[in-house]
Amino acid sequence: MMIYFANYTILQSITIDSFEKNNIPRTDTRDIERKQLRVLFIGTYPPRQCGLAKYLEDLVDNYQGPYGIVAIDEKDLKPTTRNYSNNIVFRLKQNDRETYYRVAEMANSQGYDVVNIQHEYGLYGGMCGEYIVHLLATVRKPIIITMHTVLPKPSEFYLSLTRTIAALSTRIIVLSPVGRQLLVDLYGVDETKIAIIHHGVPDVPFTQTLTEAKQKLGFDAKRPIMATFGLLHRDKNIQLVLKAMKKIVEYVPNILYLVLGQTHPLVKLHEGDSYRLELEYNVTTCGLVNNVHFVSKYLDDKELISYLSASDIYITPYIHEEQYVSGTLAWAVGLGKAVVSTPYLYAKELLAHGRGFLIPFNDHQALSSTIITLVQNQEVRDAARRQAYKFGRQMIWPSVTCDYENIFRNTLLYF
């Protein structure tokens, strides 16, 4: 199948068939099985504040072998405004096409065994992030790409771009089974090329009682607490919870809803803190100032774990049905929370088999009745918590990183 991009002469001779994986193992298998693989990771990285930066930080912190990181800087960022740690070997400029070739040359010439690319369309330059194709087509090492977004209803351009990315990658990692199914059914990717590794979560002991966690934060041990966390933007749909709170407080007057996290940096560039300010205004006008609290800062792991450990219920009221992964939902399940969510793709998958509770999109009445039921029925709440925590044990970062390393090694064996 031929793939054409008007902007790319480099792709005019590329076919998906020409990138089928090699099924013949190498002759130096013992050396590969014994050595610590040197990996070049490519993605956003702290101090940049976004979910993928946190994901890559956790991944490399748990990786036992040698590695380097290529950090992606957003367009128009002045290099002097961000100071990275010493494990950053290069800074890829989002809209500078030449830096993509320089990263490829680094991967080819500096002793790396494999390359892992953390992929979101918006991270890379060009239309829909198409500049990544230059990098993929130039690297001569095994490329394992982690796809944090798989669109279920792509435009023709996204469809063609994603097929090209898949063709140029040696292996593809997705974060849920629905992602793999979309790649196979919609994008025509060979199923054997795709691996599933669940989103990583911290390893936190399960606690039956939340008393100590609440008291550490200065909350009454008997006060019911709900939470939502993550970088704030309109798609979080926090306003749905505020609508539901009007009914909830009639039955649970002392309930507290924590909105954890600052405005997303990219959103703040365009509209400032307008969304958070709108939410705070609604809280005031609805008489909920004693029941809703905003923690408007970028929370580190320790702070997040403290707040979630004190929360009886976690809520993801998101509006986009096609969302195939959510790091915040993964955290909530991994920490054994009773989760209430709208039925986007990832939520339907992760909260199945009694691991959580789904409500229809934008239905504040269903949300309020579900919350009231859970607050009043600890047995139902705890049953979901135990099921969630049990499932989440496969998602702790040491396990996730081990899965990554196994894929790196297996990919190199057949490259």
Give residue for tokens 């990263």: 103
Range 17-200+397-413: architecture per CATH: 3-Layer(aba) Sandwich (3.40)
d(CA 240, CA 360): 11
For residue 191, give Cα distances in angstroms to 76, 166, 196: 39, 11, 11
The 10 Å Cβ neighbour count of residue 255 is 22
d(CA 93, CA 79): 10
d(CA 313, CA 374): 8
- Candidates 99, 233, 116; CA nearest to 173 is 116
Range 211-395: architecture per CATH: 3-Layer(aba) Sandwich (3.40)
In the chain, ranges of CATH 3.40.50.2000 domains: 17-200+397-413, 211-395
Per-residue pLDDT tens digits of the chain, which is 415 residues long: 334 444 443 444 444 444 444 455 555 676 677 788 999 999 999 999 999 999 999 999 999 999 999 999 998 888 788 999 999 999 999 999 999 999 999 999 999 999 999 999 999 999 999 999 999 999 999 999 999 999 999 999 999 999 999 999 999 999 999 999 999 999 999 999 999 999 999 999 999 899 999 999 999 999 999 999 999 999 999 999 999 999 999 999 999 999 999 999 989 988 999 999 999 999 999 999 999 999 999 999 999 999 999 999 999 999 999 999 999 999 999 999 999 999 999 999 999 999 999 999 999 999 999 999 999 999 999 999 999 999 999 999 999 999 999 999 999 998 8
The 10 Å Cβ neighbour count of residue 374 is 20
